[in-house]
Structure 1
Amino acid sequence: MSSLTVRQYKNSDFPAVKKIFIEGCHKLAYTAFFHGLKLPHNWVLMLLGFLLPLLSVGSIFLAILDVVIVLVVLWLCGRRFFYGYATECMADDMKDISKYYLQREGYNFWVVESDGELVGTVAAVPSYLPSVEKNTELKRMNVVSSHRGKGISKVLCRTVIEFAHKKGSKAVVLSTTTLQMPATCLYRSMGFKCTNISDMTQFTERLISMQWIFFRYDIPSSK
């Protein structure tokens, strides 16, 4: 069995952390694409795109081209969101992790090593929404694909929960997308409760039925 070590981030970890984060975001673009392919309204779009030029002008070329266009649009929907998200984060908190997470009260950033290889990350930030109640938000949890299913995400969740408890937080909160089914299943198994699901507003996001899902883990007072 692999030996896991969770420790605080250090600057020399940045290349590996950046790679894990960006690759994780980019792979979600594929998840979004294949999710979009399963939706009935997109099948209707492809069927109409195929039949209309075929029946109106008798062009099999235009019929196939229309289907290809729908497929490209579906791919770009997920790509636009997740590639854009990665770019925004790398220009924000992920630009200087030490400064953003390690030099501020209530913030932290951890990495996990498996037999010396950096295979996962997680972060914590203070959260006072939706009320003045003091909570901790779990962020930036990523595990490399080759090490998923080994309990690493649970270890990272527990790390944040323990940190939140020591900081006197009432709960750990987080947000993710409904496309990330393995993650939502993990959070539920850890005792997180869904508090809200909200639709995304952009047309490209709605085309692939992306939604935000919010979770909360109440920290027992006797923990």
Structure 2
Amino acid sequence: MLSFLAFIGMSTVVIVTPGPDTATTIRSTLLAGRTGGICTAAGIAVGQTVWALATSVGLAALLVASAPLFLTIKYLGAAYLIYLGILALREALWPAEQGSGIAVESHPYSRVSPWMAFRQGLISDLGNPKMAVFFTSLLPQFAPMGGSTFATLLALGTVFAVMTFLWLTFYAAAIHKVRNVLQRPIVHRLVEGATGTVLIALGLRIATEHR
């Protein structure tokens, strides 16, 4: 029980620390409302569950050990984050619509479907091989001796994914509550610019940092 509580505590610290998942969820919420943010959070959680499954069967460890495969996924994931960041910066500099006061509510909510939001979250998470490093180094520390390693690692990874989903869902709901302010043209462009800059910076960091 103490080991599980320690896992919950460490996971909470990791999950609430802003990163690519948070930035992607924020952007989806701005473009598609609360539903879009929740769908992105679901995609991220599914991606984490896939990483947990890969860790449980040993595939994540093989990925970490294979430099070419690890680098391929790392660069693809970094490129995707940079791509999302460029889209956000383009929206900040050349918005699709201009308004005199508050942006039309249907404008930002009509360009990203729930499936697209889910896909963005899934690709963003699966394209981050650091999740493989993180899971292979974190989960075994909390697996009890003598238990089923596969079942335990998968269960811990699933718990982590559920916690991530709940936190990002809360994030999406909080942003949705202030959507009227965030939809004002000037504010919207500032937020898009900041989000795009963060996504590009995160993509560059993933691409350039060592394991």
Measured against the shorter chain, the TM-score band is 0.3 to 0.5
Point out the structure with the larger strand share: 1
Q: Radius of gyration: which is bigger?
A: 1
Give the TM-score of the pair, scaled to structure 2.
0.35
Give the TM-score of the pair, scaled to structure 1.
0.34
Point out the structure with the larger helix share: 2
Q: Which has the higher contact order (CA 8 A, sep 6+)?
A: 2
